[in-house]
Every structure is written in C-alpha cells, then in structure tokens.
Amino acid sequence: MSDKQRQQSGAALLRGVNLTKPHQLDEKDVRDAYRRWAPVYDYTFGRVSTAGRRHAVEVINSSAGKVLEVGVGTGLSLPEYKPHLDITGIDLAPEMLDKARERVAECALRNVTGLHEMDASNLDFADNSFDTVVAMYVITVVPDPAKVMRELARVARPGGQVMLVNHFSQDDGVRGWVERRMAPFADLVGWHSVFDVSRVMICDDLKLVERRSLRPWGLFTMMRFTKKVAVAEAPLAAE
C-alpha cells in the first residue's frame, strides 16, 4: 500500500469520529466487536491476557464452591480451574460461547455446569448464588460498569469474593497519551481505553482486600474484594 493509500484509509477511518470525546459503548457495539473478535480472539488478545487470567484462576483454585465467570468468552480459562470447583460461565456474544462449548467438550470439563448467553448488567441468578464471582477483561467493555459491579456484588454470597482483572488507565506519560488517543475508537476495538479505577469502587458491601499489577508490563490489574457479612441487629433487652 502506498503512502497516499494509507492516508486515505486513515482518513476514512477517522471520518465522523470525534477525537475529543470518548465513544460511549452500547450493547450493539459490544456484540458487533466480539462477533469480529471471535474467530481470532485466542491468537490475539487471548495471548496477551494469558498471564493475568492464569494468576486469577490460581487464586480462585485455592477456594471452594461455586464460581461464576462473567465474560467467559471463548473459555480460555475453563481448563485451568481445578475439578473441585463448580463453574458457570456467561457471555453476551453467542459466537464466543460456541467456542467455549467446543472447548468444554474437547477437554471433557465436567465441572463446567453451565454456559449461558446473558447480559452482565442483568444477571439471571438469585442473590448470594456464588462463592466466587470473577470478571476478567470485562468491566471496560460493558456499557454500564456501575450496574455490572452491583450485579457482581449481588450474586456473590456474603463472605464470598468478587475478582476483577482489567486494564485501568493512567493520566500521564506515553501510555496515558496513547489511551486518550484510542478513546474515540471504543466501538471498533470493543473496550474503553480510558477507564479510571474509581469507577469500580462503588459497592458499599464490597471490601477491597488485594490489588496487584500483572504481567505483561503491568498493563493489567487484579482486584479482589470480599463481600461483607451483614451484622445482625442485637436483640432488644428485656424490659
């Protein structure tokens, strides 16, 4: 491709894009983006995210009970879970779930008891259903992160854990500049490059107990919360 052709392609991509205002994702953006990603996800972002995904699963493997993975995608993490855990996965993209189901069958993963097409902001599970709720590389993808965080907290049992693995943006340096320049293309790449960590610190019933930068290059962060146990009201003293 010549320099002129590259310039024309770039102009076509930028046409109609407001470089000063981040694009707000909606559900259609997410579905469209991950329909495009599904055929190549394992060989692109799937590889970049391997270290963070494995670290999170190692932590979860030291626990017990029922696990909900929100945004299970093509199921890359599913073979990593130990068999004593009961795993349920959900995702908005049916193309991703098809690949996850193929992986479950190929690996004979009997501890994966359900894979469902579902919106993370409207989970079809009862309150306090899971011992662990994990969302890896999800919270910057969804249109309403606050609503998703409240749903993650709702379906976790008191005393259980909610885990995030995600990219959070920074204000300064070269990385901050790149993230701001990418912001208008959120609908094309399928995630928000500018996303402050304060946007997930909104649930009063979740206590942050661990925060750790992950490989590669500290681009991703693991955050582990525990869901507070409600303190029963003290009985009234006898008159």
pTM value is 0.72
| C-alpha distances in Å from residue 138, one per residue of 34, 91, 191 | 12, 10, 8
pLDDT of 176 strictly over 50: no
Query: How wide is the angle at C-alpha 68 spanned by C-alphas 66 and 55, nearest 5°?
Result: 95
Which amino acid, one-letter code, is at 147? K
Q: Find the helix or strand (DSSP H, E) in which 167 lies.
A: strand 156-167
For residue 88, what are the contacts with CB-CB under 8 A and spacing of at least 6? 66, 67, 68, 69, 112, 113, 114, 115, 116, 130
Query: How wide is the angle at C-alpha 43 spanned by C-alphas 15 and 212, nearest 5°?
Result: 90
- pLDDT at 224 (0 to 100): 97
Which pLDDT tens digit goes with each residue over 24-79? 545 555 555 555 555 554 444 445 557 788 889 999 999 999 999 999 989 999 99
CB of 221 closer than 8 Å to CB of 55: no
d(CA 220, CA 10): 29
Cα dihedral sign, 199-222-40-110: negative
pLDDT band at 127; cut points 50, 70, 90: very high
Q: Decide which of 179 and 140 is more confident.
A: 140
Which pLDDT tens digit goes with each residue over 128-166? 999 999 999 888 888 899 999 999 999 999 999 999 988
The mean predicted confidence, pLDDT, of the chain is 75
Bridge partner residues of 130 (DSSP): 156
Give the residue ranges of DSSP H helices in the chain: 3-14, 27-37, 45-48, 50-61, 94-107, 145-155, 173-182, 186-189
Q: What percent of the chain is predicted at pLDDT more than 90?
A: 47
Domains observed in the chain: 19-227 (3.40.50.150)
- pLDDT at 36 (0 to 100): 53
Q: What percent of the chain is predicted at pLDDT more than 70?
A: 62
Burial class (CB in 10 A: 0-12, 13-18, 19+), 72: buried
DSSP secondary-structure letter at 198? Answer: G
**Averaged pLDDT, 76-87:** 96
